[in-house]
């Protein structure tokens, strides 16, 4: 990659001038405004400040012996000591040739591949997946796909909620009010009905509370009947979850619920007590954080006064299992922002419990989805919006739009396009905002063919494919291109393609998929300007071949980038 080659030469030159310099701060980043150049490095200012030197003088000294003439047409010092690099058109063209002839597509695999466990989605058994599961599922999948594309090993784990006090209530309903026909029709709806039914009684009736506790204890003690009911609940739930995951194109390597770790919980608690990290408090076992100001007022409960464990205990056991089984370099948890305190406690306890373990623990948290009233997105009656309904609605709305534009198209074809567009629109609208921000859900915005939306990007891809259909009709045969890049629009598009791999690296540096969304939106815009200003099929000879090859590379990057976001493309729209 060009930016990598320039960066490496810059590093070598800086070490000649400052042999003891730390190069972590010295990175090439795309210029925010291309009138200043293509890439910029501002790390020399940091190095100069550390040594109380004049940054411009340091930049001049570095530049004096920096040899990048084969890659850059100019390198200039700007501001207090920035270095601005403008790429040589011939060097850009060679990168396009390399991409056309190989399969790297402007992406260099990680120089030090790592092993990741990505924990995301995590619905609760016996409850339908709802709108609250969208962000974790879609963002987690995009992170896993990005990691794999850059050559890392990824293990995805869906840590489902399949244990806890709710099963005492569910078991009562299962035994007394279960409608088998309704269960066969829609298992999660029927289990949801049972839970609501018993829960309403539970709040007002101490007898029901006692019965629920008894059923839960029997389950925990291995009662055959209760275990059989509980296993059926899990099996039916997983079957329904899989229908949603298949529609979303999401897969997991493992689905290990909370119950999987039950045998380890007592040992975890005892280990923490023995290590002096936890102690008894009012009958419970608690970890205190007297030395951490932000956690001092928030001790972590790891065993209740009735002997039961909780989420923190289970998550500690899960981490221990993952370390022993998967040997990860990093574990990534993708959850909403309300769990920030939990993960601060969890990571602190784990690192104190296992001080020699160097596994990086990352909490990738996100904001909420809001309705038009800027409140959490729910139905008019205040219920959670089921994810299945949301996907159906997206497909139906997309089908209406496709039918309006292409009424003559066979219905099966319109349905397939609507599926791709509708599901893609839901995903993209969720990935586009800064993940830590709340965002307002809007059907009109997400399904628009204009603006930064999935349908706009998918349509840009279909335009590229239509060019090749017309080229085939004219008898064009693909061949090696030289990429003369004579027009400004060709050069701008080509240089943007070169930034694709760096964009993926940026996604992983902060786990922000919106970086890729914005890159692809810019790519579609640059392609549109190229398409409008640089005749493709009306050109001839090598010029036509060059422009078709540039189209092909833009289409490949657009398709692959959308695929990394979990979004499909279609040949026609």
Same domain membership, residue 153 and residue 260: yes
C-alpha separations of 482 from 5, 97, 102, 168, 465 in Å:
22, 7, 15, 70, 21
Same domain membership, residue 262 and residue 359: yes
Same domain membership, residue 124 and residue 83: no
Same domain membership, residue 220 and residue 346: no
For residues 518 and 523, what is the distance between their CA atoms, to the nearest angstrom?
8
Query: Quick one: pLDDT at residue 435?
Result: 95
Task: Give the three-state DSSP class for 485.
Answer: coil
Same domain membership, residue 29 and residue 77: yes
Query: Quick one: pLDDT at residue 410?
Result: 95
Mean pLDDT, rounded, for 416-425: 97
pLDDT above 80 for 203: no
For residues 8 and 4, what is the distance between their CA atoms, to the nearest angstrom?
6
pTM: 0.94
Query: Quick one: pLDDT at residue 537?
Result: 93
Same domain membership, residue 45 and residue 7: yes
pLDDT above 80 for 193: yes
Q: What is the DSSP letter of 123?
A: P
Query: Quick one: pLDDT at residue 475?
Result: 82
Same domain membership, residue 128 and residue 260: yes
SS (H, E, C) 129-195: CEHHHHHHHHHHHHHHHHHHHCCCEEEEECCCECCCCHHHHHHHHHHHHCCHHHHHHCHHHHHHHHH
Question: Cβ(158)–Cβ(252) under 8 Å?
Answer: yes
Same domain membership, residue 221 and residue 297: no
Question: Cβ(454)–Cβ(429) under 8 Å?
Answer: yes
SS (H, E, C) 380-417: CCCCECEHHHHHHHHHHHHHHHHHHHCCCCCHHHHHHH
Same domain membership, residue 272 and residue 236: no
pLDDT in tens, 547-566: 999 999 999 999 999 999 99
pLDDT above 80 for 492: yes
Same domain membership, residue 212 and residue 135: no
pLDDT above 90 for 278: yes
Residue 323 backbone dihedrals phi, psi, to 5 degrees? -65, -45
Residue 530, judged by CB atoms within 10 A of its CB (0-12, 13-18, 19+), counts as buried
Same domain membership, residue 265 and residue 179: no
In percent, how much of the chain has pLDDT > 90? 83
209's tokens: 């509370």
CATH of the domain at 139: 3.40.50.620
Higher pLDDT, 234 or 479: 234
Same domain membership, residue 56 and residue 180: no
Is 540 inside a domain boundary? Answer: no
Radius of gyration of the chain (CA): 28
Is 547 inside a domain boundary? Answer: no
pLDDT above 90 for 307: no
Mean pLDDT, rounded, for 196-220: 87
Q: If pLDDT is split at 50, 70 and 90, which confidence band does 121 have?
A: very high
Mean pLDDT, rounded, for 282-301: 94
- CA-based nearest residue to 137, from 426, 403, 398, 354: 426
Is 325 inside a domain boundary? Answer: yes
Query: Quick one: pLDDT at residue 309?
Result: 87
CATH of the domain at 17: 3.30.1360.70
The boundaries of the domain holding residue 335 are 115-159+254-364
For residues 447-465, b (16+ Cβ closer than 10 Å) or e, as one string?
Answer: bbeeebbbbbbbbbbbebb
207's tokens: 């007898």
- At how many degrees (to 10) do helices 514-533 and 454-473 cross? 40
- CA-based nearest residue to 118, from 103, 138, 89: 138
Q: What integer best gives the mean pLDDT of the chain?
A: 94
Highest mean pLDDT of the ranges 215-229, 375-389, 503-517: 503-517
Task: Give the three-state DSSP class for 35.
Answer: coil
100's tokens: 């056309």
pLDDT in tens, 314-354: 999 999 999 999 999 999 999 999 999 999 999 999 999 99
Tokens 């990352």, residue located: 362
Long-range contacts of 15-21, Cβ-Cβ distance < 8 Å, separation of 24 or more: 16/65, 17/58, 17/61, 17/62, 17/65, 18/47, 18/51, 21/47
As for how many domains the chain has, the answer is 3
For residues 63-97, b (16+ Cβ closer than 10 Å) or e, as one string?
Answer: beebebeebbeebebeeebbbbbbbbbebbbbbbe
Query: Quick one: pLDDT at residue 267?
Result: 96
């Amino acid at each position: 990659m060009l930016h990598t080659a320039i960066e490496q030469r810059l590093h070598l030159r800086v070490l000649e001038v400052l042999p003891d310099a730390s190069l972590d701060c010295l990175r090439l980043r795309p210029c925010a405004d291309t009138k200043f150049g293509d890439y910029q490095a501002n790390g020399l200012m940091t190095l100069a400040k550390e040594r109380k030197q004049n940054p411009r003088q340091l930049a001049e000294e570095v530049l004096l012996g920096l040899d990048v003439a084969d890659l850059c047409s100019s390198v200039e010092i700007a501001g207090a000591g920035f270095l601005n690099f403008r790429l040589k058109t011939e060097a850009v063209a060679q990168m396009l040739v390399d991409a056309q002839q190989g399969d790297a597509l402007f992406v260099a695999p990680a120089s030090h591949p790592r092993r990741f466990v990505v924990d995301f989605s995590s619905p609760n058994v016996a409850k339908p997946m709802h709108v609250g599961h969208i962000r974790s599922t879609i963002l987690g999948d995009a992170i896993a796909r990005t990691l794999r594309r850059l050559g890392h090993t990824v293990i995805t784990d869906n840590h489902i909620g399949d244990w806890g006090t709710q099963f005492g209530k569910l078991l009562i309903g299962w035994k007394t009010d279960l409608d088998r026909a309704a269960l066969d029709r829609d298992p999660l709806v029927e289990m949801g009905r049972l839970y609501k039914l018993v829960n309403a009684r539970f709040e007002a009736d101490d007898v029901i509370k006692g019965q629920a506790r008894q059923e839960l204890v029997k389950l925990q003690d291995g009662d055959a009947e209760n275990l059989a009911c509980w296993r059926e609940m899990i099996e039916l739930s997983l079957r329904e979850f899989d229908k949603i995951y298949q529609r979303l194109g999401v897969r997991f390597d493992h689905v290990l619920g909370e119950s999987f770790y039950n045998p380890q919980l007592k040992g975890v608690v005892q280990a923490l007590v023995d290590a002096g990290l936890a102690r008894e408090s009012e009958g419970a076992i608690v970890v205190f954080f007297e030395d951490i100001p932000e956690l001092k007022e928030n001790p972590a409960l790891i065993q209740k006064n009735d002997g039961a464990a909780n989420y923190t205990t289970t998550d500690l056991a899960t981490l221990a299992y993952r370390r022993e089984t998967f040997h990860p370099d990093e574990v990534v948890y993708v959850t909403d922002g309300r769990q920030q305190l939990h993960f601060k406690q969890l990571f602190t306890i784990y690192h104190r419990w296992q001080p020699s373990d160097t596994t990086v623990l990352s909490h990738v948290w996100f904001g909420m989805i809001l309705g038009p009233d800027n409140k959490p997105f729910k139905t008019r009656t205040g219920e959670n919006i089921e994810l299945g309904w949301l996907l159906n609605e997206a497909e139906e709305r997309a089908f209406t739009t496709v039918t309006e534009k292409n009424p003559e198209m066979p219905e099966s074809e319109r349905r397939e396009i609507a599926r791709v567009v509708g599901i893609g629109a839901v995903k993209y609208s969720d990935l586009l905002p800064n993940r830590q921000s709340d965002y307002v859900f809007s059907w009109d915005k997400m399904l628009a063919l204009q603006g930064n939306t999935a349908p706009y990007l998918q349509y840009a891809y279909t335009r590229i494919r239509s060019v090749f259909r017309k080229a085939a009709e004219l008898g064009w045969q693909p061949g090696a291109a030289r990429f003369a890049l004579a027009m400004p629009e060709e050069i701008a598009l080509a240089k943007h393609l070169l930034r694709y791999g760096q964009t993926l690296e940026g996604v992983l540096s902060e786990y922000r998929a919106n970086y890729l969304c914005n890159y692809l939106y810019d790519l579609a815009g640059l392609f549109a300007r190229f398409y409008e200003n640089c005749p493709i099929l009306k050109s001839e000879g090598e010029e036509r071949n060059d422009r078709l090859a540039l189209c092909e590379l833009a289409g490949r990057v657009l398709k692959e980038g959308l695929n990394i976001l979990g979004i499909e493309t279609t040949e026609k729209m």
